[in-house]
Amino acid sequence: MAVEKGEALDWYRKMVLIRRFEEQAEGEYGKGRIGGFLHLYIGEEAIAVGAMAALDPDDDVFTHYRDHGYLLARDIDPKAVMAELFGKSTGVSKGRGGSMHMADVQRHLWGGYAIVGGHIPLAAGMAFANRYLGRSSVVACFLGEGGTNIGTFYAGLNLAAVWKLPLVVIVENNHYAMGSPVERVSAVREIYRKACAFDMPGVQVDGNDVLAVRNVVRERVAVARAGGGPQLIEALTYRFRGHSMGDPQRYRTREEVETAKAGDPIIRWRHAILEGGLATEGDLRKSEAAVEADVDEAIRYALDSPAPEAGEIDRDVLVAEERGHG
């Protein structure tokens, strides 16, 4: 396997971090400490972790609202992510964004966007700016397969293709858009084939295999960076939890979910590490324990952090205009 021990363990730790972070967040939601919508990424961790491993730190990232995993995979402090869920001033978006709208510009993570497909043109624009200003950064844009049925996907990718932008679009096909299975809402079931409409490369990858994701994303990013234009990747995965909290999941059977869990990306990577002799059971346990402590600390931090001051409510609506011109 073309992975070093350190890398292998890092990916494992990040996937477990996302898993434990969200399991705990789910519990906190039940206690009423987190409000609104909370879309869990559980079962899909290998995509964020594999993709971030393939990107340079100053490559730019845009995501949809199921976004906690990308922030954690990008080494953004779990404390600030949890604090955002708690609506605290120490959150990544200062408590103004919540679960669906998290950004950390220092880490080139330009935000979770909650209008399906609405961020695709933004990602294209960022890619344009990068090229225009002579930056070599590539933009990665994540979305769900349901988001490939809205106009911004088609016209956005067309724009990116016409302008040959350094953009990699990664569609996480978790098979359901809320309760709609792919075949009910998409005339084309293999999402990667939609790339042909833009004469753009489209590839499919096992999204539950973190190494495969890393490799495919790395390859596509290299092409985009070299001026090969936008690339489309479909990563096949499965959402183990409901769409958001309180989803009775009438659209699928328990058996189907249990069967899918056999392909759990974390368990798979654990086996791969042990089989490949990349690390020992002890190493993995140690990593799990460290994650446990990090998540506990994140919750404590979020609880202890102050809520935004009432006076913050009208800050940052507009940037102050420079007065006195003219």
Partner 1 sequence: MAETTYRDAIRGALLEEMRRDERVLVLGEEVGVWGGSYAVTRGLHEEFGSRRIIDTPIAEAEFVGAAVGMAMGGLRPVVELMTINFALVAMDQIVNNAAKIHYMFGGQIRVPMVMRMAAGWGQLGATHSQTFEGWFAHVPGLIVVMPATPYDAKGLLKSAIRSDNPVVFIEHSRLYGMKGEVPEGEYLLPFGESDIKRQGKDVTIVTWSRMLQVSLAAAETLTKEGIECEVIDLRTLRPLDMAPVFASVEKTHRALVVEEGWTTAGMGAEIAARISRERFDSLDAPVERLGQIEVPVPYAKNLEALMFPDEARVVEAVRKLVA
Ligand X SMILES: Cc1ncc(C[n+]2csc(CCOP(=O)(O)OP(=O)(O)O)c2C)c(N)n1
In the complex, the residues that contact ligand X under the rule CB under 6 A are: 66, 114-116, 143-147, 174, 176-178, 243
* DSSP symbols for 78-131: HHHHHHHHTT-TTSTTTTSS-TT---BGGGTEEEEE-STTTTHHHHHHHHHHHH
Q: Of residues 133-162, which lie at the interface with partner 1 (CB under 8 A)?
A: 133, 151-152, 155-156, 158-159, 162
Q: Which does 267 bind (CB under 5 to 8 A by kind): ligand X, partner 1, none?
A: none
248 binds partner 1 (CB under 8 A): no
230 binds partner 1 (CB under 8 A): no
Q: Which does 228 bind (CB under 5 to 8 A by kind): ligand X, partner 1, none?
A: none
Q: Which does 246 bind (CB under 5 to 8 A by kind): partner 1, ligand X, none?
A: none
Residue 60 pairs in a beta bridge with 139
Stretch that binds partner 1, among 191-199, 254-262, 290-298, 310-318 (CB under 8 A): 310-318
Q: Which does 91 bind (CB under 5 to 8 A by kind): ligand X, partner 1, none?
A: partner 1
118 binds partner 1 (CB under 8 A): yes
Residue 204 pairs in a beta bridge with 234
What sections of 89-235 are H helices per DSSP? 120-132, 151-162, 182-185, 210-223
Q: Which amino acid is at 121?
A: P
What is the β-pairing status of strands 180-181 and 176-177? antiparallel
Closest-CA residue to 203 (of 187, 219, 188)? 219
Q: Which amino acid is at 29?
A: Y
307 binds partner 1 (CB under 8 A): no
Footprint of partner 1 on this chain (CB under 8 A)? Answer: 60, 91-97, 101-105, 110-111, 113, 115, 118-130, 132-133, 151-152, 155-156, 158-159, 162, 315-319, 321-326
